[in-house]
Chains A and B, each alone.
Chain A
Amino acid sequence: MITRLVPVLLLLLLGVLLAVGLSNSDHKEDLPSPLIGKSIPEFTLPLLGQEEVKVTQADLIGVPFLLNVWASWCATCRIEHPLIEALADSGALRVIGLNYRDDAADARRWLNHFGNPYAMNLADTSGRVSIDFGVYAAPESFLVDASGRILYKHIGALTQEAIEQEILARLPAAGDSR
């Protein structure tokens, strides 16, 4: 009797395993970033449109901000763009762009066309600094607190839900962490 049940139990076990696997698949955002809780990496990058101005990580520290990785060639970036504009317009959070592996002229045209919500845009033309941020696809967004620590990383297009529940909800902790 028990031996007859063994295949049934195994099948059930396999079913559970597959169900868990399926429900977890297609959630790239579940790939945890090892940088969460750590300080943003050191970098020196030119500003988009003002290439003679160089910005380092130290220039960004002091106020919490959202670092949004985007590119003019990135179709998904257009989808989240209205949400980022709304967030920047609300004044709740400073939004800084990290222009990833892009052509400066294309990037400027993109901003002229869709609107520019960014307080500033760092031009990572080679993508080298983005490697230090663990970026693997645009768009990605990092919530950084006033001391320069990464609190949260969102992979893929931002949603209203993610902005409210993951980003704005963390702001009280982001402001006075020093």
Chain B
Amino acid sequence: MKTPMKTTMKTMGASLVLTLLLVATCFAADEPLVFDNDEQEARYLDLTRELRCLVCQNQNLADSDAPLAHDLRQEIYRMLQAGESNEQIKTFLVDRYGDFVLYRPPVKGNTLALWLLPAALLAIGGVVVLLAVRRQSRQPAGGESERED
């Protein structure tokens, strides 16, 4: 009785290890990176999420499988290892690819519409709703039930 049980356990253990290995390979699209510490790894993840892949423009560097995204991830890793700050890394990329590489572009003359339009649209929407609500509440309750009939 004991031997089959043991074999089952062994098989289960082996398949668990295999599954974990498989999961690990799924995440490691690049060669696995070794970071000096958790803080550096967190910065790497933040930067690659916040920077745009120029090839498939609606993906960030972390998600993209494009060769350029791979190269830029390598470059960001190398700069982190060299002790450069997040600002220095972003400046490096903006100098070469422009503000477009940033998912959060700086507030400048040509990005003003981008930053202000959502707030402006929200304000316009608010005014429209306010006017509609006011008009509704001004109507007598009787008039409304009549209309429902």
Bound: A6/B96 CA distance, A: 44
A33 touches B98 (CB 8 A): yes
**Chain A residues whose CB sits within 8 angstroms of the CB of B128 once the complex forms:** 6
Q: CB < 8 Å: which of B71, B72, B100 contacts A31?
A: B100
Please give the number of chain B residues whose Cβ is less than 8 angstroms from any Cβ of chain A in the complex: 17
Please give the number of chain A residues whose Cβ is less than 8 angstroms from any Cβ of chain B in the complex: 20
B55 within 8 A of A: yes
Q: CB < 8 Å: which of A6, A127, A128, A134 contacts B97?
A: A134
Complex interface residues of chain A between 9 and 39 (CB less than 8 A to chain B): 10, 28, 31-35
Bitwise, B94-127 to A at CB < 8 A (1) or not (0) is 1111101000000000000000000000001000
Task: With a 10 A CB-CB cut-off, give which of B54, B72, B94 has the most chain A CB atoms.
Answer: B54
Interface positions of B (Cβ within 8 A of A) = 54-55, 57, 67-68, 71-72, 75, 94-98, 100, 124, 128, 131
Question: 29 A-B residue contacts at CB 8 Å?
Answer: A3-B131, A6-B128, A28-B57, A31-B54, A31-B98, A32-B98, A33-B98, A34-B94, A34-B97, A34-B98, A35-B96, A101-B67, A126-B71, A127-B67, A127-B68, A127-B71, A128-B71, A131-B68, A131-B71, A131-B72, A131-B75, A131-B96, A133-B96, A134-B96, A135-B68, A136-B54, A136-B68, A136-B97, A137-B55
